[in-house]
Amino acid sequence: MMKTYEIDITHRNKNRNVLLIKKSRGILVKKEYFEKFSELVGREFVKLQEPMKEYTTFKIGGAADYYICPHTSEEVAKIVALCKKEKLPYYIMGNGSNLLIGDKGYRGVIIHIYNNFNAISIEGNKIYIQAGALLSKIAKVAAKNNLAGFEFASGIPGTIGGAAVMNAGAYGGEMKDVLFSVTVLNENGEIITIPSAELELGYRTSIIAKKGYIVLEAVIELKAGEQSEIEAVMQELKEKRTEKQPLEYGSAGSTFKRPEGYFAGKLIMDSDLRGFSIGDAQVSEKHCGFVINKDQATAAEVVALMEYVATTVYEKFQVKLEPEIKMLGEF
């Protein structure tokens, strides 16, 4: 039976900010910045006060002061350089599949590396990919070219850029199994290429994440296979994902990291929290490892639910759940 829990969002635990990856300070939207960004990427690719719920799989989020869609690595480098020069907070966004943006939005610049930055090309058994390409699209291209080894990623709703940062994985496969090299923008504004052996890929981490690099391109190396067999594996994984995950609702995938020696979803289920809700934010009844947006959930409701779940699990099992979802902006 579904449980509900009412809470005054404005009086939640003061420690909630530990979940945030960045709490940006307010900045003024200025015409001069709009003009400068427009000169770099074209006026039609710069928007002001853009609602971010349109760009995340959670379907939640207030407006960003500036929203920019670059086309090339050089444009990304110039945008970042301008942000640093003008001391404008900025955030690199892909498909928004692992992101919760606050209800009050983001006081800064969202650089969206996605639809305008997703070219894919093949040379032999290597696939060269711009950072904004979706993993599902890459998997289809690989299958059509009889390249096997990327099937595990076919259902992950993210981009190659985000996947490289966090060493994304599923069903026994990880990015570290296929990455050949990654081209990034480093902290000095230099575009460099890092071979796989130097990426320090681990569970949901990499040197890219540790150093705050921005992924621009990636090269994956696969092995020869048969299209029909590759597509059969992809279909099997799709059916498993559909059966076990609440894909019909907005979410950001697995809400919590896997604690060592445990599974977050089972801990949550064993804490009798299946279906537990705060507003329209709910612990999925299909998979307790997912917090879902049932309809019109707010970011504040999602955060409150995550805090409640983490507290309940700790009180019952003395296991700390850490968020896998990234959080951005003003809540």
Which H, E and C letters describe 26-55, residue by residue? CCCCCHHHHHHHHHHHCHHHEEEEEEHHHH
3 state SS of 152: helix
Question: Which residues in the chain are classed under CATH 3.90.78.10?
Answer: 247-328
Question: Which residues in the chain are classed under CATH 3.30.465.10?
Answer: 120-243
Question: Which one, of 173, 211, 169, 216, lies nearest residue 191 by Cα?
Answer: 216
**Assigned CATH topology for domain 120-243:** 3.30.465
Whether 107 and 262 have beta carbons less than 8 Å apart is answered as: no
pLDDT of residue 10: 39
Is there a catalytic annotation at residue 324?
Answer: yes
pLDDT of residue 17: 33
pLDDT of residue 204: 85
pLDDT of residue 29: 83
Q: Give the DSSP H/E element, type plus range, for residue 268.
A: helix 264-270
Rounded to 10 degrees, what is the CA torsion of 207, 209, 210, 216? 60
Whether 90 and 44 have beta carbons less than 8 Å apart is answered as: no
331, two tokens: 């809540």
pLDDT of residue 14: 38
Whether 165 and 202 have beta carbons less than 8 Å apart is answered as: no
- Which one of the listed residues 24, 107, 204, 277 is annotated catalytic? 204
CATH architecture of the domain with residue range 247-328: Alpha-Beta Complex (3.90)
Is there a catalytic annotation at residue 196?
Answer: no
pLDDT of residue 121: 98
Q: Which residues of 50-88 are buried (b: 16+ CB within 10 A; e: fewer)?
A: bebbebbbbbbbbbbbbbbbbbebebbbbbbebbeeeeb
Q: How far apart are CA 46 and CA 66, in angstroms?
A: 7
Asked whether the whole model's pTM tops 0.85, one would answer yes
- Which one of the listed residues 24, 181, 254, 271 is annotated catalytic? 254
3 state SS of 222: coil
Kindly give the confidence (pLDDT) of every residue in the chain, 331 residues in length, as a single tens digit, with 9 standing for 90 and above: 444 434 343 333 433 333 333 333 445 588 899 999 999 999 999 999 999 999 999 999 999 999 999 999 999 999 999 999 999 999 999 999 999 999 999 999 999 999 999 999 999 999 999 999 999 999 999 999 999 999 999 999 999 999 999 999 999 999 999 999 999 999 999 999 999 999 999 988 999 999 999 999 999 999 999 999 999 999 999 999 999 999 999 999 999 999 999 999 999 999 999 999 999 999 999 999 999 999 999 999 999 999 999 999 999 999 999 999 999 999 9
Is there a catalytic annotation at residue 181?
Answer: no
What letter represents residue 328's amino acid?
L
Question: Which residues in the chain are classed under CATH 3.30.43.10?
Answer: 18-112
**CATH number of this structure's domain 18-112:** 3.30.43.10
Distance of CA 17 to the CA centre of its chain: 19
pLDDT of residue 5: 39
Its sign, for the CA torsion 246, 251, 254, 256, is negative
Q: How far apart are CA 84 and CA 114, in angstroms?
A: 22
